[in-house]
Amino acid sequence: MTNVYNNILDLIGNTPMVRLNEVTKEIPATVYAKLESYNPGHSTKDRIAIHIINAAEKKGLLTPGSTVVETTSGNTGFSVAMVCIIKGYKCILAVSDKTKQEKIAYLKALGATVYVCPANVPADDPRSYYEVARRIAEETPNSIYINQYFNELNIDAHYQTTGPEIWEQTEGKITHLIACTGTGGTLSGSAKFLKEKNPNIKIIGVDAAGSILKSFHETGKINKEDIHPYQIEGIGKNLIPSALLFDKVDEFVRVNDEMAAYRTREIALKEAIMGGYTTGAAIQGLLQYGAANSFKEDDVVVAIFPDHGSRYITKVYSDEWMNEQGFVNNGVHNYDSLYKTEHVK
């Protein structure tokens, strides 16, 4: 039988790429989006969840009745919870209070126990979601802590899958890879593979305004003055994750909340791709990079779109939320000219 699978986990990986035609039309290069929303958990994090849990099983770290604990901004939690259902494990997740309620409801619907932690505290604060997850794992018998920020298998998952897929899909013609960096695993693992194939491929990381990753890459030092609250989920950090291989990244571009939000909605409007907030961040980063480093006509650029926009309906796709942030008609973009709501009286 064709396209029939044993369970949902067999659908992970081998995601499609699609050419972008409108939002990047000012760029002479060919630009493709790698659509990670086509994974069954609707994000690239499916790849690391299955890879890390499979590795733990092989090492005998997971047995019937075990508990899997993880820190997440949402997507990794969905993926871990999904894998745990199929494999019969309990799932405990620590999320930040930046996580929207619908994401938390989604995690609970998948059977996860969810701890909501303050976002704007230092990483080593006992209330941070990093420390809460670590403590829960230590206190829970027969458990493992995924620890995606400091787990080399995060990198390896993408080295084994995402990088080779991109290489094959572009027939080895890729010249630039651009992706948002949170844990850094997606970009690092893909970059590691692609650089081995062709060291001239440019690897561009997208960081958030409010994060320390870009300045750390440039100076090797943590600049705490860079840290301030921001809205984009799943990108940037106030710590340095070991899953981010800085030596594989050629350059970082930093984007702000507003422009990433605008691009996210523009991609939906002009390309009919409902991507998450980081989808817009990736394209905004690409456009900023292209403005400073002119692309050539024969360049082949791949942007990784990490997840699906359905998880951001009450955030970046909400007119009310956009207004609350002050993003509408502020002289940068006229949103009303793009997004209209007609009320029948």
Q: Which residues partner with 179 through β-bridges?
A: 205
Question: Which of 321, 161, 167 lies closest to 257 in space, CA to CA?
Answer: 321
Total residue count of the chain as it appears in this document? 345
* Residue 220: exposure state from Cβ atoms within 10 A (0-12, 13-18, ≥19): exposed
- 318 CB neighbour count, 10 Å cutoff: 12
* Nearest C-alpha neighbor of 130 from the set 213, 240, 226, 277: 240
What is the Cα–Cα distance from 294 to 279, expressed in whole angstroms?
21
Residue located via tokens 């507003």: 258
Report the chain's terminal Cα–Cα distance, integer Å.
53
User: Which residue(s) pair with 71 in the sheet?
Assistant: 94
Query: Where in 191-278 does DSSP place strands (E)?
Result: 202-208, 251-255
Residue 336 φ then ψ, to 5°: -60, -25
Q: Out of 45, 98, 248, 315, pick the active-site residue.
A: 45
Which helix (H) or strand (E) segment holds residue 112: the answer is none
Q: Tell me which DSSP letter residue 296 carries.
A: P
Active site residue 315: no
Q: How far apart are CA 198 and CA 159, in angstroms?
A: 14
CA angle 253, 304, 194 (to 5 degrees): 85
Specify the 3-state DSSP secondary structure of 6. Answer: coil
Q: If you compute the radius of gyration of the chain from its CA atoms, what whole number of angstroms results? A: 20
Active site residues: 45
